[in-house]
Structure 1
């Protein structure tokens, strides 16, 4: 990808690309790592560690989490490098370092590639080859399969691409246990099914932005009504799936309560999104679902972390 073929004819990015000189500071390079996404990756990877192996060597666990964070940041950086042309068009992303002209695209590419290779090598050295291989697969899946292919070619981009965001618990478990067990696979499934209703709720609100950038998000391709039906369908699957850790014996009583209440909240909001289809009210309920979905996932994983990491685990059965 070259920014010379951007949809926009004159942007700060083009001037910067021609000059090849960065105008950014440390905060701009940090922004390339998508720190909010990086935090979520570290958080879910940590839960993947503690639910199966709470007595890990703290040095190994910390070093592994650090490399998983760096790998996640590298993925975000490569995504921003590739998407700089459409980021310059969308209102919510045009202030990012590359389209805003503070970081040169070639510098972002070099930064992302260096972090990608470094994080995989170091994770392999401090942990094991399985974890390093899974981290490498996650980076390639997000940066290449999702960013370069799926995002601009299919309305199922979020569904398939959601696998990249769901893999951190598996990488975390592999890093401390040396294998992939049912615990992390279930956590993967929860995040994977959570992703479409979460992002499609946002897409309903930002559909005009996505249309301008030419991204085939579900509301722009299948229409808002079809998107609402699919949001509800995924949420109907998600609510009981959120209780799977209880059924498999690694979610305790506190988790069961949180997952039940949270699942009912997701269902109620998804039904509201399905029912309310016009005007500002429709946008408002979609925004509410988007915001609540973040809280829902956070509470699920935070409860598992508290139960296993802090010794609060009380099995529901047995």
Structure 2
């Protein structure tokens, strides 16, 4: 009798065990599904949060360097920044139109600007109608002259317009501002860092050549011969970045060059820049002069003719090419 009862109880309990196991399995499965669902929700929430974070930069309001508030409702897609194409490209951004002197654009950038329409500045800033036809989201003006001549007031009616006092005299600062305007701060920082590494490497390589040595840059155009100072473009690169000293003659305020002052010119190295070949007449006059040929720089073969295309431009690409030229001239 006891045996029969034991068997009967065992038969009853067995389905109960099976049911318990099944319930446990369903519980574990449900918990896993819940965890998986929670993870998916967390990933989705995080993605949405990151997306919102990316979009939260705009609308953006910045005060430009002449005191105007510039408000951007969204990230600009079409940018007009004449003479600042170099800096835009450093951030991986192409402008909608590119500056031209009426004959040609900035040739040293054409490998990155092919197909970008040119707009001529031969007769001064283009008309607002010419700019408006391109429907820019943002206009960037590289110096305050645009405010002084009334151009800013007209352009600002077309699109948000940011004005630099003089972008060419503060390359690092102007690129970082572009990074803010276009929400490309990381690219701006990287571009500046890469350029500084190039400067440091060149300065180290040239240290024994530049120490105690003075330079002069002479620019030739249709009006004559002129010294370039160390405040901008290639003049800035040679002195502030590569370690040359500026000729004391130039430092003391000399601007126009005449053959008569050449014997007084205390420059160990002289760089000649012919502005778009407009200064051919004056450059030839200089080269044929016996006074010129008697200067120490000429006699020591330390006179170099350069490319006006980028020696007369500011920007990471232009100044990087100037550095490459100087290394090739002096430390090949």
TM range (shorter): under 0.3
Instruction: Return the structure number with greater relative CO, CA threshold 8 A, min gap 6.
Output: 1
Structure with the largest fraction of helix: 1
Give the alignment's TM-score, normalised by structure 2: 0.27
More strand by share: 2
